Amino acid sequence: MKTAEDFQNGQIILIDKPLTWSSFQAVNKLKYILKRKYNLPKKFKIGHAGTLDPLATGLLIICTGKFTKKITEIQAQTKEYTGTITVGATTPSYDLETEVDANFPINHIDEELIQQTAKNFIGEIDQKPPVFSAIKKDGKRLYEHARAGEEVEIQSRKTTIYEFEITRIALPEIDFRVQCSKGTYIRSLAFDFGVALKSGAHLTALRRTKIGDYSVENAVTPEIFEKEVLSQ
């Protein structure tokens, strides 16, 4: 049974983030649960080690107390995701946050082309973050520029794809598993994959399964975490 001192000294909590929740919401939920249960001080430290988009589910690592110092170290570790890329259409956000803005042919796409194209993404690649992302430019987040209809120039950055496995093909859907370095945008990977297929594509499902040695298999939903803590 955990004590207030345990959480202040530092704990690593593995949460399976539900769909539509922001990472900030998940942290706030846990903070509320822990403060309610243990009467923790107002300045109790808690934070997450790597944002997950609201439309993604899966592993969110939350650190408390003195373990918040480990966040940078955890964020730097290799990440694994599974998901679905839908070919034949693009969206401005590269995922389902925005509506389809263009359609493309897919008749020429077959399994051989998909598998060969996937191989070309393994290794160090140049990637542009989505315009609908939280990166700051000129003092504003990119998604704020995008929602205001402002065009901004986005610099590409180096990222590394260690593994890119195609796990199911049922066109227009392509399921995948990817292992990648810190800072990789899977939405951008989906968009670039569509371009490489001489079509268009966007991300329609995403789940983070691992960060380093931490696995979503050992994570709990915020709801289960609340029940476990309040029943102690």
* Active-site residue list: 53
User: Rounded distance, CA 2 to CA 160, Å?
Assistant: 39
Query: How many Cβ atoms are within 10 Å of 137's Cβ, its own excluded?
Result: 16
Q: How many CA atoms lie within 13 A of 44 on its CB side?
A: 25
User: Rounded distance, CA 232 to CA 228, Å?
Assistant: 7
User: Rounded distance, CA 142 to CA 150, Å?
Assistant: 9
Q: Minimal CA–CA distance to 79: which of 205, 187, 167, 207?
A: 207
